[in-house]
Amino acid sequence: MESGLNGEHVLITGASGGIGQATAKLFDKEGCSLSLHYNKNQEQISQFSKELNGDYCLLQADLSSEEQTKELIQDSTNTFGRIDHLVVNHGIWPEQYIPAHEMTLDQWDQTLTINLRAAFICSRQFLLNLLAFPKETASIVYIGSTAGIFGEAGHVDYSVSKSGLQGLMLSLKNEIIRIASRGRVNIVAPGWTITPMAEKSLEDHEAVRKALQTMPLRKIARPIDIARTVVFLSSDKLAGHISGQIITVAGGMEGRKLFEPDEIDINSIL
């Protein structure tokens, strides 16, 4: 199926990471011009970008800063013109299991700042860009998480940052059409995906087994699984009537397994 994305300009945040790279490669195959954002990992993104065939530029920014985000959008526009599609993919997942009653406010603030506040900043800078370059179509895709849908014990900061994206999406889908009349906003919500972010957790096979018990497909996603869904949702031709939706890419996950069978005392319940 033709995506119709050929010649369009896509800005991907966190393109130096696992899902970002896979997404960049797929948009590259569709013939898009790419603004690829990274924060600290210049080495990684420089290496990976050599595999791309089309036009791209590499742009550094700490997205918790609105000034740096503004510059990012400006540099991106100076290079390839109007940004047609924004993929808000960057994010952090503090690895350690920390229950809410022990979590420092510094951790809470940092996760919310990078994952949610920066998503808001990127989005409004993108909308300002659309205002400056009128055209009917445009799209935003946020990378959410199953943690934002089912919650995640020990990671309430991350879970809230990802469920917060839903409010952003639902509000902006109704705002973007005042600027670009066929503009659309959606979320792709991955479950565990093999990238540097999840690498360490995936070494814990018991935890993986536990997660797979609520997933009929019993697999861990590859970045390409997420990337395909992002490209689909960005395409006006393929997904032109889809806005305000969360597409979960997690093998049919139904939730979190909370207890082992021996943790439930059946006699005291019945």
Ligand X SMILES: NC(=O)c1ccc[n+]([C@@H]2O[C@H](COP(=O)([O-])OP(=O)(O)OC[C@H]3O[C@@H](n4cnc5c(N)ncnc54)[C@H](OP(=O)(O)O)[C@@H]3O)[C@@H](O)[C@H]2O)c1
Quick check: helix, strand or coil at residue 136?
Answer: coil
Selecting among 38, 56, 142, 158, the annotated active-site residue is 158
| Other C-beta atoms lying within 10 Å of the C-beta of residue 144 | 28
> What is the rounded distance in angstroms from the CA atom of residue 85 to the CA atom of residue 106?
32
Q: Known catalytic residue: 142?
A: no
Task: Closer to ligand X by CB, 193 or 229: give it.
Answer: 193
Burial of 67 (0-12, 13-18, 19+ CB in 10 A): exposed
The token pair that represents 7 in the structure block: 């010649």
Least distance to ligand X from the beta carbon of 95, Å? Answer: 11
Task: Closer to ligand X by CB, 179 or 192: give it.
Answer: 192
The residue at minimum Cβ distance from ligand X is: 17
Structural contact between residues 267 and 30, judged by C-beta atoms closer than 8 angstroms: no
Q: Which residues bind ligand X (CB under 6 A)?
A: 14, 16-20, 38-41, 62-64, 89-93, 114, 143, 145, 190, 192-193, 195-198
Longest pairwise C-alpha distance within the chain: 69
| Other C-beta atoms lying within 10 Å of the C-beta of residue 60 | 16
Task: Closer to ligand X by CB, 114 or 160: give it.
Answer: 114
> What is the rounded distance in angstroms from the CA atom of residue 57 to the CA atom of residue 133?
20
The total number of residues shown for the chain amounts to: 270
Which residue's structure tokens are 């109007």? Answer: 82
Least distance to ligand X from the beta carbon of 263, Å? Answer: 26
**Residues that are catalytic:** 158
